[in-house]
Amino acid sequence: MVLAYFEPHEEYSWDRLDTISGKVGDRWTWPMASMLWLDDRGYKVTDYTLFDFERFGEEGGAYLIEWYGEEMGRAQIAHGNIPGEMRYAKEYVRRATIHKTLPTTKDVRAELARGALVMCGLNAYALDDEVGYEGHAILVKGFDAHTLLLHDPGSPPHANRVVDDARFERAWGYPTASAQFMLVIQK
């Protein structure tokens, strides 16, 4: 999503993208490996989140359950590569610009207006008004007064998905609003 925007002349195979994102087998990935890779290539990445990467890097799954609660924490443990993500977290803390603040849709719009791309993690089920949890990353690429325009690579993919603020916030702030994060990416 980000690479197609900033580097439209480059071709990235699925295998290469899996390497960039630190994907291991069928495990879920977090954005840290990709953001570190972008940092290596000269991109500016700023993370707005209340999540404590230092604690996660030390405590792993125990911190996830404390932070997200049983449902989401256990899902991350069951489907993620937690030891690998803990290693990425330790590096991410050293290199990333992290603002310990809760982002809002107003912040998303402000960053887009400045010309940045915005990536958010959310609950794919909540985005589709379904019950359950599956972590999912989307790119916000446009907006109007009450909706956001998403590049949603989900199943099925939606290159130009329009979502009203209320639905976006339910999916973004899952299981609680404190889980919201926003990655601002600039070249």
What does the pLDDT look like over 112-156, one tens digit per residue? 999 999 999 998 999 999 998 888 899 999 999 999 999 988 778
In this prediction, residue 162 carries a pLDDT of 95
Q: What's the pLDDT score for residue 70?
A: 93
Question: Domains of the chain, with CATH numbers?
Answer: 105-186 (3.90.70.10)
Give the confidence band of 158 by pLDDT, cuts at 50, 70, 90. confident
d(CA 30, CA 80): 8
In the prediction, which pLDDT does 154 show?
Answer: 78
**Does residue 4 carry a pLDDT above 90?**
no
| pLDDT at 72 (0 to 100) | 87
Question: Confidence class of residue 168 from pLDDT cuts 50, 70 and 90?
Answer: very high
What tokens were used for 5?
């925007």
Question: Would you state the pLDDT for residue 32?
Answer: 97
Helices (H), 50-135: 53-59, 61-68, 70-79, 82-95, 105-113, 124-127
- Taking only the tens place, the pLDDT of each residue in 40-96 is 999 999 999 999 999 999 999 999 999 999 988 999 999 999 999 999 999 999 999
